């Protein structure tokens, strides 16, 4: 059932693109070009083709949305600050190293 729906969406994308002379990308090509699409580095024709594909193909749309969500999560994840106790230990070790290298 899901396979039939995906084929139907792909056909819709092909049909939608033809009157405008747009070559439709496959799902694999959309995945490959996603970083250029997000960075705004595609030609206007390529961008229109991908826009059209994303409108017609929920799998690629979800893939693109979650790609951006992955990027946002990665950027937002916070890591612990340097512990105060380690800062003291580090300073002590390095001062000792500095004095010893005289």
List residues near other proteins by CB under 8 A.
2, 6-7, 10, 26-29, 31-32, 34-35, 37-40, 42, 47, 51, 54, 58-83, 86-87, 90-91, 93-95, 97-99, 101-102
Burial class of residue 3 in the structure, from the number of CB atoms within 10 Å of its CB (0-12 exposed, 13-18 middle, 19+ buried): exposed
Positive or negative, the CA dihedral 52, 57, 60, 65 is positive
Which of residues 19 and 44 has its CB atom nearest to other proteins in the complex? 44
How near is the Cβ of 16 to other proteins at its closest, in Å? 15
How near is the Cβ of 20 to other proteins at its closest, in Å? 17
Distance CA(13)–CA(23), nearest Å, equals 10
Which of residues 16 and 29 has its CB atom nearest to other proteins in the complex? 29
Instruction: Give the relative orientation of helices 58-76 and 27-39 as an angle to the nearest 10 degrees.
Output: 40
């Amino acid at each position: 059932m899901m396979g039939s729906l995906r084929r139907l969406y792909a056909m819709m994308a092909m049909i939608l693109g033809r009157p405008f002379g747009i070559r439709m990308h496959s799902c694999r090509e959309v995945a490959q070009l996603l970083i250029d699409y997000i960075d705004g580095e595609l030609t206007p024709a390529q961008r229109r083709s991908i826009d059209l594909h994303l409108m017609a193909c929920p799998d690629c749309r979800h893939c693109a949305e979650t790609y951006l969500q992955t990027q946002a999560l990665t950027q937002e994840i916070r890591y612990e600050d340097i512990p105060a106790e380690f800062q003291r230990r580090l300073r002590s070790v390095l001062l000792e190293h500095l004095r010893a290298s005289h």
